Amino acid sequence: MQFIAITGGVISGLGKGTITSSLSHLLVNSGLKISAVKIDPYLNFDAGTMNPYQHGEVFVLDDGSEVDLDLGNYERFIDVNLTGNNNITTGKIYKNVIEKERKGEYLGSTVQIIPHITNEIKQWLRGVSKKSGADVVLIEVGGTAGDIESMPFLEALREMKRDGDHILFGHVTLVPEIGPSLEQKTKPTQHSVSALRSIGIQPDMIFARLKGNLSLDARKKISLFTDVPEEGIISVSDVKNPYLLPEIMRQQGVLDYIFTKMNLSGLQFKDKWEEFRRNITHPKSSVRIGIVGKYIDLTDAYISHREAFIHVTGKHGIEVDLEWINSDNLKMDKSQLSNLDGILVPGGFGYRGVEGKIEAVRYAREHNVPYLGICLGFQTAVIEFARNVLGLENANSTEFDPSTKNPVIALLPEQLEVTNLGGTMRLGSYPVVLEKNSIAGKLYGGTEAAERHRHRYEVNPAYIERFEKAGMHFSGKDREGIRMEILELRDRENFIATQYHSEFKSRPLNPSRVHEFLVLKALEKTGGTK
């Protein structure tokens, strides 16, 4: 079993996830089978209940696991579908250990951090390696060296190397550039590596984060004080787009260094992103898309949408300028929508900001602006149509108004029988049956698609006939024909909304079909051509 563990030092937020993803991309395109694991040291069992303002987007996998957004990066960079086992949390580890203790599996031993917690972590990581059949598993450890929460995980990784597992350690540190001369200071890196060494881990690679390029003097000094060879010190400068980073790292010899360290031979990197990079760095045209949401102060809450648009740019060379519009304020001021070529209303939970989203839908419909609704953006399109086309008084979702006279969005009867709120969630990949001659059918080029879901409420079946007669057409449904999955408007070709989250399966060389649709329709609106 071979592993590469990426740890962080000095401060969090240095881009360990992007570095891990970039390494994964380089290795998988060198002919290796790769898997990746994100370790989140928090006590939550998973990311499902976490506030987007604190932790960013909740990413959903095919198996329905709600995980850290870094798993989205892994999937995009290495083009694989991961599972919930690829995201480890302290909550998951402790739950497993406590359950084993309750069953008497420890034969009366006093259960401790070492060896019981660390053994569980090691067993989990080796299990991912074995089940995935990966040649190399990359492990990203959240937090920084010295954090109390991450200590059991770092200890487990130290023990793995001692046990004979072939594991390389990469350490991400900050190299601040100080003063008028922007002198590159290596002391934070020295202290960070010292903290890592104090728990028995010697890094094999240093990923130095800074705005510019690491100077030769700084590289030599870091090597001297950390015992990492100069060729193992990789300069990770700020980049306009994260998809440019793998090539920057490759040009510094990171692959040759890893191959040597891991005794891998006969491998050759094949660059599959050359045209993709060229299109995102030198786009031929541009459109302006407004994202109307309530978490826009932290745009990482919508990171998969942002990435999906980059994927469209990489395919078509159409730059997407994103306008982040706060739906809380939109009901009073719709002037922010007037200069847009397209509008996206993404998902979300709770009533705050919903009326603003409804106004965004109405503006797009009445002004013939290309529109894409995702999840709640699908439901708000239904509510808006019910109110302003069907004339249904106070039409709403029972999530927002349980006593509404016209519950056009509601729980299905079988959901009402579930007492556990989490049990009413529709999570993970489900098939969507497409109408052949619809917009959706043409986009997907078939009669069925598999897309990921994360929602609870559905279009109320009692109202569907009225919607269809008035011009809203449900062109995608579940296999039973009960859950509405895609809606279109019969009088136009630039309006679509999906109950599912197509952004979660968007990849650099295979963009989300509906995001691609929105961008192309927005370009048509501008009168531009590809």
Mark whether 122 and 224 lie in a shared domain: yes
Give the mean model confidence (pLDDT) for residues 445-457.
95
Mark whether 20 and 163 lie in a shared domain: yes
Mark whether 238 and 328 lie in a shared domain: no
Query: Where residue 254 sits, what CATH number does that domain have?
Result: 3.40.50.300
What pLDDT, in 10s, does the model give residues 223-237? 999 999 999 999 999
Residue that finishes a domain, picked among 244, 264, 284:
264
Mark whether 180 and 327 lie in a shared domain: no
Residue that finishes a domain, picked among 218, 237, 264:
264
Distance CA 207, CA 237 (A): 10
Evaluate if residue 296 carries a pLDDT over 90: no
Catalytic hit among 305, 316, 501, 515: 501
Residues spanned by the domain of 467: 276-526
**The pLDDT value given to residue 427:** 95
Mark whether 164 and 287 lie in a shared domain: no
Give the mean model confidence (pLDDT) for residues 110-138.
96
**The dihedral formed by the CA atoms of 154, 91, 415 and 346, expressed in degrees to the nearest 10:** -40
Residue 449, both tokens: 């698609």
What pLDDT, in 10s, does the model give residues 15-45? 999 999 999 999 999 999 999 999 999 999 8
Q: Is residue 143 part of a domain?
A: yes
Evaluate if residue 422 carries a pLDDT over 60: no
Q: Domain tally for the chain?
A: 2
Evaluate if residue 196 carries a pLDDT over 60: yes
**The pLDDT value given to residue 329:** 83
Mark whether 362 and 499 lie in a shared domain: yes
**The pLDDT value given to residue 415:** 76
Axis crossing angle, helix 16-28 with helix 254-261, rounded to the nearest 10: 70
Residue that finishes a domain, picked among 264, 285, 300:
264
Catalytic hit among 355, 503, 515, 516: 503
**The dihedral formed by the CA atoms of 464, 469, 470 and 476, expressed in degrees to the nearest 10:** 50
Give the mean model confidence (pLDDT) for residues 141-159.
93
Q: What is the DSSP string of 301-339?
A: GGHHHHHHHHHHHHHH-EEEEEEEEEHHHHTT--GGGTT
Angle at 404 (CA atoms; ends 402, 405), nearest 5 degrees: 145
Catalytic hit among 375, 485, 488, 516: 375
Distance CA 84, CA 314 (A): 29
Evaluate if residue 423 carries a pLDDT over 80: no
What pLDDT, in 10s, does the model give residues 370-406? 999 999 999 999 999 999 999 998 999 999 999 999 9
The question of whether 501 is a catalytic residue gets the answer yes
Mark whether 249 and 296 lie in a shared domain: no
Could you tell me which residue, 527 or 371, shows the higher pLDDT?
371
Q: Is residue 107 part of a domain?
A: yes
Mark whether 304 and 212 lie in a shared domain: no
Q: Is residue 307 part of a domain?
A: yes
DSSP letter at 110 equals P
**The pLDDT value given to residue 419:** 58
Distance CA 465, CA 473 (A): 10
Mark whether 307 and 259 lie in a shared domain: no
Mark whether 370 and 260 lie in a shared domain: no
Query: Where residue 376 sits, what CATH number does that domain have?
Result: 3.40.50.880
Closest CA to 380 of 412, 402, 349: 349
The question of whether 375 is a catalytic residue gets the answer yes
Mark whether 238 and 311 lie in a shared domain: no
pTM reported for the whole predicted model: 0.95
Q: Is residue 269 part of a domain?
A: no
Q: Is residue 271 part of a domain?
A: no
Mark whether 328 and 217 lie in a shared domain: no
Give the mean model confidence (pLDDT) for residues 325-346.
90
